[in-house]
Amino acid sequence: MSFLSDFTVEGDVVKMNCYITLLNSDAEDHQVELRAYSPQDVRGGLLSEPEMLALERYLVPANGSASYDVTFEGVHGGGATKVNRLLPEIQIFISGG
């Protein structure tokens, strides 16, 4: 289960707080990096760029799952309203094990 919890604007930074569940079907543990992509929030004015970064790496155990509170940070576009309550598109990058 994954969902958007809330978002805040702090100066020039938008922070989207999400609860993310990651699944790993490999026989090895993986460290992953997460990015979020939200072009609709650029069109709505909340973000000036669609890509947001998670500042931490997350461990997903072999043949298992892990859930984390994840904060994505992006560049504020001047607006104060998120277009919807949906999660942004989440991109997962394996960074090692």
Q: Are 77 and 23 in contact (CB under 8 A)?
A: no
Parallel, antiparallel, or unpaired for β 3-10 and 64-75?
unpaired
Q: Summarize pLDDT for 15-45 with one digit per residue, the tens.
A: 999 999 999 999 999 999 999 999 999 999 9
Q: What average pLDDT does this structure show over 43-61?
A: 97
Percent pLDDT > 90 in the chain is 96
Q: What total of structural domains would you count in the chain?
A: 1
In CATH, what number is assigned to the domain containing residue 26?
2.60.40
Residue 73: pLDDT band (50, 70, 90) is very high
Residue 95: pLDDT band (50, 70, 90) is confident
Domain that holds residue 56: 3-96
